[in-house]
Structure 1
Amino acid sequence: MSKLKYLTMLLLIYSSTILSQARKSEQSNTDYLIELMKDKEIEHIYIVGVNKYFQYNKEWLDDIIIDGDFITFKNIKEDKIHSWDISNTTFIERYRDVIKIRLSVSVGE
């Protein structure tokens, strides 16, 4: 495949992903996340901090609570709960069945 065709294909894929995730300027992070999750089958959500990342699969996504700037994941089988303040995010994006939330702060210790 020629370099021009390859670059054109990459540009089309990238622009369609970006344009499909157009966000209203007044929309909060949680409202935008709810919009990305609505009527779509999400398999994974990644929370990425400056120093760590967490991956949430279907077991965690069965019982999500979004309240204000907080998103809470529950894993009933492992009896664990994780809660995140997503008010300070660099970006939130969705690609197919994956949502990635990039935090602008360190997480944990």
Structure 2
Amino acid sequence: MTIRNSYRLFSTASSTVRKLPPGFDKAASFPKEHHSQEAKKWKRFSLAFGLVVAGVAAYLFPKELEHHEVYIPPEYPFIDRKVKEPRFPWGNEPLIGTPYDRVRRSEQD
């Protein structure tokens, strides 16, 4: 028998190993009743907090609406004017272009 196996055998065979009483969850040191009580407590806290936040929002929302200003865009006098096409000395054609482009444009007209 190796040392490792003998250590396992004697460590589990001793009577000094503490065992949890029945009704306890092995994953935690509190009984299951405690877990359900804590869950109920935090559910109440969450509900109370949600109600407080909803109450504050319901109280502040109408006050914010009183001070809310509707955005009206400013009216500029030049918006209604038509945009005029610029008059260039060389016409509405681009200033820089090849003679081929000029001939082609004149044929399209």
TM-score (norm. length: structure 1):
0.21
Which structure: larger Rg? Answer: 2
Considering fraction of residues, name the structure with more strand.
1
Considering fraction of residues, name the structure with more helix.
2
TM-score (norm. length: structure 2):
0.21
Q: Which has the higher contact order (CA 8 A, sep 6+)?
A: 1
